[in-house]
Structure 1
Amino acid sequence: MKNGTTFISKSVNSSPNHYNSSTQENNSNFADNISFYTRSSETGSLERLDVDNNSQRIISSSSNGEDNIHVVVRVRPLNAREIKTKENGLIKFLGNGQIMFDVGIGKPRLFSYNAVFEPPATQEDILQFSGVKKLIEMAVEGFRCTIFCYGQTGSGKTHTLTGPPKLFSKKPAPYSEQHGLIFRAFLYLFQLLQEKSEVHFVLKASFLEIYNEKVIDLLNPGIRRKPLAVRWSKKCRGFFVENLFTVDCEELDDLIAVLEEGIRNRSMGRHNMNDYSSRSHTILTVYITSEQPTDDGVFISRSGKINFVDLAGSEMTKKTQSAGKTLQEANNINNSLMVLGYCISSLSEVKRKSNHAVVSCE
């Protein structure tokens, strides 16, 4: 298994206030009905014509595509209250993967990313133009790839990865334009496998959550939600979750069933900033093993995997007015996100200094 690429999708509020999920759903439903695209090579942007033939830019990207870690930002639409208070000037989209953030205090701050998705972008746009399809192709070829979705609570992380929470209230969930990145990635994965008819593939999947620093199996949680042990493997030189349930996935429906079951078992809560706040980090992993015959009669075996990580939202407890159990959850969430930040910074230092290892014992 070869080391692959990490994709970090960072969800951003177009205003620093709370998230209204119905606003994003309505916006995306409107946008998904429009299908005409034009590409501008000079600015690295992609545009769509709206119903009045006005051009809407949905994404701008930078030209640097060689990094092992790609950071892509999606900015959600304004909700009704933000529109009423005229908060649409806080973020300015400059093109070429750049945005400027100006809250009226101090100097405006400029940020650069591999790509920036603007509010008109749809769920399908994220799959097509974020680089995720490339990661799926790499996983099929035997690489280990990871997709993080990170951002403030209520910024739309879970919406981007899976879709609105109510989407999976029915079993099975009917197809919707609101389905997120994971569902669409599964469709693309099976499309790739069907195109490689000469290769024998075996797919397995697992789905876990990290809740209050404890690992819970979302496919086999049990009545008491007993946590699983995390152990070190000398053979694989890495950590693994002991007794984690894995599911054989022969058909597309098997993978979708894993997604739906895990979402229903996830720990959710509510506070002042979000009615459907994810109170845990989740990791859905698809393991891809393949055997391909050569002209000499030898079989080439490959093992790859792709992780879909939905991180719990970072939050300020003063704004959420968390207390008791919710406060404990928030403290654990913020602490784990801080450690993750250290790891990502260390990876950046490794690349800059040409070192070979990152160790984190926190």
Structure 2
Amino acid sequence: MEGERSNENLDWQDDPHIGLIPRSISQLFDTLKNQDKRFSISVSFLELYNEEAYDLLSPVADTTRLKIFDDAQRKGSVIVNGLQEIDVKSKDAIYEILRQGSLKRQTAATLINACSSRSHTIFSITIHIKETTPSGEELLKIGKLNLVDLAGSENIGRSGALDKRAREA
């Protein structure tokens, strides 16, 4: 997501080295803006840390573990009970949500990286598009884009990871 940058400097708009998530957000909004269709977008931000799930967009600073279930009604889908989904209207709103969520992410210093991500994250963007067919029928199309950032895999000897950090690696 941020590459080698620390979580303290998340200015994606002017960064020529921005990652896949900010680029995807920009492309998505630019594409939707140029179409003559009504749409809405919502986002969620899930952290997986030491085999537990956490909501990076939760308005409270707690660390309540989320429960993940298979969706019995839709094969291959999962439900994350309690995960916040926030409606957004612009790229800037998503960038700010991404920035705030990234600041809550589990990070730690190692000998190799001053701000090493210790967790996996899934930033999900759900899009609802309303279209009207030539016959006047209204259609609702729903799509979901899951953007995954995997925690770094480190050489324990080179990174100096001990105890808790060694288990994370």
TM over 0.5: yes
Matches within 5 A, 1:182-331: 182-197=21-36, 199-220=37-58, 222-237=60-75, 238-330=77-169
Gaps of 5+ in 1: 1-156, 331-362
2:102 partner SS:
helix
Separation in 2 of the partners of 1:260 and 1:310?
Answer: 14
Q: 1:182 to 1:294 in 2, by over 3 A?
A: same
Separation in 1 of the partners of 2:91 and 2:49?
Answer: 28
Residue aligning to 1:167: 9
CA drift of 1:328 comes to 2.2
On the 8 A contact 1:204/1:249 being kept in 2, the answer is yes
Residue identity opposite 2:13 in structure 1: Y
Separation in 1 of the partners of 2:84 and 2:59?
Answer: 9
Structure that is richer in helix per residue: 1
Separation in 1 of the partners of 2:155 and 2:13?
Answer: 35
Larger Rg, first or second structure (1 or 2) = 1
Deviations 1:254-282 (A, max 9, x none): 21122111111111111122211110001
1:240 partner SS:
strand
1:262 partner SS:
helix
Deviations 1:295-349 (A, max 9, x none): 111112211111111100112222223112212212xxxxxxxxxxxxxxxxxxx
Matches within 5 A, 1:116-155: none
On the 8 A contact 1:282/1:311 being kept in 2, the answer is yes
Separation in 2 of the partners of 1:308 and 1:221?
Answer: 22
Residue identity opposite 1:164 in structure 2: R
Residue identity opposite 2:46 in structure 1: L
On the 8 A contact 1:204/1:287 being kept in 2, the answer is yes
Separation in 1 of the partners of 2:12 and 2:143?
Answer: 29
Identity of aligned residues (%): 31
Separation in 1 of the partners of 2:137 and 2:12?
Answer: 43
On the 8 A contact 2:68/2:80 being kept in 1, the answer is yes
CA drift of 1:221 comes to 6.6
1:193 partner SS:
helix
Separation in 1 of the partners of 2:34 and 2:62?
Answer: 43
| Alignment TM-score, normalising by the size of structure 2 | 0.89
Length, aligned pairs only: 166
On the 8 A contact 1:158/1:310 being kept in 2, the answer is no
Deviations 1:180-220 (A, max 9, x none): 332222221111111112x1111000001101111010011
Residue identity opposite 1:207 in structure 2: F
Residue aligning to 1:138: none
Separation in 1 of the partners of 2:88 and 2:62?
Answer: 27
| Alignment TM-score, normalising by the size of structure 1 | 0.43
Deviations 1:226-267 (A, max 9, x none): 110111211122222111000001222221122111111111
2:151 partner SS:
coil
On the 8 A contact 2:2/2:18 being kept in 1, the answer is no
